[in-house]
Structure 1
């Protein structure tokens, strides 16, 4: 009996980005499994966030290709990539600090123009959905608060709700547990598992190894701008290439 072939949501081929003489991403060829929780780990400075930025159009790669669900999206603008179904959060939350929590989520409406979104031109269905998402992430009681007045962990949840408002198929999270208390880390992990069970693919950059190993199905390890190993979390914990990258052993 043959096993079901693994589908890949996101693939890169020889993706490269240099800053001056430093190759932050160095001919990275990597695949992430569709319908799974993928982790992207590696030492500080290994190119993970730059890789995210190249994939999502925040910066243009020098060379190589990015393919999302069979479609070449290399160098496309961030809004085009988002419309293709690829959403992301950032290492440092990107929110509108002087807007309310509810309006921050409404800013993620895929079909609306940015000017209309920021002017508060929303239909009742969008408002109802935004409130549902706030309830889902557990901060519905804060909808009238300005985003700058809620805790950093709550801002992480708010950013995730805004990403979900655009209805992405794949969600890239850059250090979702960074600076967050253990209770909210647990809440984020539960949300990721629930959303994955509903069919969403995740690609998560994270330094919290306990979270990575308990949450992910597939782990890709970066070092010096390129993948050096990939596989099941348990295998990566004992892979000599990974130990060398992290510990120099």
Structure 2
């Protein structure tokens, strides 16, 4: 693990006395496609939220590129080089696809974003990224009129607008048809080949096992196993967590 990667030490977060993340110490492989898997309620999304500043952990630390990012504001963590998507798409439903892309890279008021961005180089970049994810033909459509899978692609393209070094995806295949799952997988592999690091929370095991270089398994808020896809599939701790065997 290099200093340019993402890691946590003793990361802990409780809600109402229940430890959603329980002293999690884990390091993800920089430059690789990492997966974070585990049964429902094992703390994966809470872990994501702690790392990206959406919520503050109760204890422990998170670091990235050798810097402490624990409890930093989300925009500061994003500027450090981490981008993320959400389990439920976060888009502006009444804005067009192109407008959603432009809003994602502006910091002034919403109206100012839309006016100034139309005259900037961001427009060209937005269109390039929409073409890359395969929805450039929808740039003038309102985001609410896209299928759920297309909304997932829009959210991913929006994340790419900031050119993050590490991309964290929360259930990119959730609610998506097999053709779009395949497209998302190919995008991840292509972007990884260009140097992007990925950390993916996902329940689709076919996607995880075919796409990932390194898999971390959570149960009850902490990692219980890690390794290659083949290694974690044979780990008795993983079988017990998932199947109770």
Q: Give yes or no for TM over 0.5.
A: yes
Alignment correspondent of 2:109: 115
Unaligned stretches of 5+ residues in structure 1: 1-5
Alignment correspondent of 2:130: 134
Alignment correspondent of 1:18: 14
Task: Give the TM-score taking structure 1 as reference length.
Answer: 0.95
Alignment correspondent of 2:241: 245
For residues 74-130 of structure 1, what are the alpha-carbon distances to aligned partners after superposition, in whole Å with 9 as ceiling and x for unaligned? 000101100111000000000010111001111222xx3241664432143110000
Task: Give the TM-score taking structure 2 as reference length.
Answer: 0.97
Q: Distance between the aligned counterparts of 2:115 and 2:194, measured in 1?
A: 30
Unaligned stretches of 5+ residues in structure 2: none
Q: 2:222 aligns with which of 188, 211, 226?
A: 226
Q: 1:144 aligns with which of 137, 140, 155?
A: 140
Aligned: 1:70 with 2:70: no
Aligned residues: 242
Aligned: 1:59 with 2:42: no
Alignment correspondent of 1:3: none
Q: Distance between the aligned counterparts of 1:82 and 1:107, measured in 2?
A: 15
CA-based RMSD? 1.0
Q: Distance between the aligned counterparts of 1:15 and 1:196, measured in 2?
A: 27
Q: Distance between the aligned counterparts of 1:248 and 1:162, measured in 2?
A: 39
Structure 1 stretches of 4+ with a deviation exceeding 6 A read none
Alignment correspondent of 1:212: 208
